[in-house]
Amino acid sequence: MSSGYLILENGKIFEGTLLGNNPDVMGEVVFNTSMTGYQEIITDPSYAGQILTFCYPTIGNYGINLFDNESNQPQLKGVVLGDVCEKPSHFLSKKSFAEQLEEAGIPGITGVDTRDLVKLIRKEGTIKGMITSSIPAKHALDQLWKKDNICWVSQVSTNEIITYHQTGPHVALIDYGSKKSIIEALLKENCKVTVVPYDFTFEQMKALNPDGILLSNGPGDPMMLNSHFFDIKKMVEQFPTLGICLGHQLIALAFGAKTEKLTYGHRGGNHPVKDLQSGKVSITSQNHGYVVVKDTIDQNIFEITFQNVNDGSVEGLKHLSHPIQTVQFHPEAHPGPSDTEYIFRNFILQLEKVGDMKYAIT
């Protein structure tokens, strides 16, 4: 391992030791407060284009297993650590955290004062950064910081239609960067699941004719997908729908609401969310940098169903006349550990109810 640097857009430089390979990458520097789940986190496609800082001081203690990846491989740009465990201890472990990065071609940097870095991000907001083996000239860095935003969803979405056969309701999962856990949660409910690309059209969805639609999580600014809002609105008005994370934001935007970027995002496994109907607070897993702006939601169309306890941001919506519901958090994750599993159960019950009505009419 050799020395390296994390260089921030504001000129701040953190020195450390490089991990993995393929240094000299640039991305948006964010942080996650979770104490466990690093394997699931680095393979979550929602981190595409980002350099992820782990707040927990030591990463890699229980190694990497063959079961917990949320996608085929890490999609993020790089990772920043305080300390990495080189000799993990767990009976399912097959490789170390550093070996996972090496195989995926993802650079990391360890030995960084992550507390100082996170305090900086919390104060100044999410910032661009670069992991590198040497410090480039200032004029070269200035050009790098000016690079245009990329539609990361197009980089992580499936390119083909994939079907998982079961005997229950048929759910079309629009893949904006979906996690494996979402598919597993639907299969657990005995759903037939068809995963479709992010640019699936309304006409294609009509031809597929599922019992319901799930709009998945995914990376980046939801406004990068504004050309798809018309199709999204038509689809969700015709089929019972659940939107998760980015899917929640896209549905709100399709009906005329607006989104804004948070100062440093919600990323971690301990975010309290209040169900505004029952008053119950659940501990949720979250990973997003944008939120739906409350004042832009037409409350003649949508009811706000969930609210973040910490900052009051919108965490869920329910359409007043169509079977459409959304959540900003991840009900398939297990920080509670099962506080919000009922979101999927309610969705399936909704599909079954609409299905029974459809069959009664025919």
One of 248, 271, 288, 330 is an active-site residue; which one? 330
One of 245, 266, 288, 315 is an active-site residue; which one? 245
Q: How far apart are CA 45 and CA 177, in angstroms?
A: 5
Residue 7: CB partners within 8 Å, gap ≥ 6?
Answer: 13, 129, 130, 132, 135, 136, 141
Kindly report the backbone phi and psi dihedral angles of residue 210, in degrees, each rounded to the nearest multiple of 5, phi listed first: -75, 170
Q: How far apart are CA 185 and CA 344, in angstroms?
A: 7
CA-to-CA dists, residue 80 to 8, 55, 74, 114, 297, angstroms: 12, 9, 14, 8, 37
Whether 55 is catalytic: no
Whether 330 is catalytic: yes
Count of other CB atoms within 10 angstroms of residue 17: 15
Give the burial string for 30-43 (b: 16+ CB within 10 Å, else e). Answer: bbbbbeebbbbbbb
Q: Sheet with 324-327: list strands edge to edge.
A: 162-164, 192-196, 170-174, 212-215, 241-244, 324-327, 314-319, 302-308, 259-275, 281-292
For residue 145, what is the enclosing H or E element?
helix 138-145
- Give the amino acid at 295: D
CA 226, 230, 235, 238 torsion-angle sign: positive
Whether 322 is catalytic: no
Residue 103, both tokens: 């195989």
Unique residue bearing structure tokens 């690093």: 38
Q: How far apart are CA 170 and CA 194, in angstroms?
A: 8
Return the active site residues. 245, 330, 332
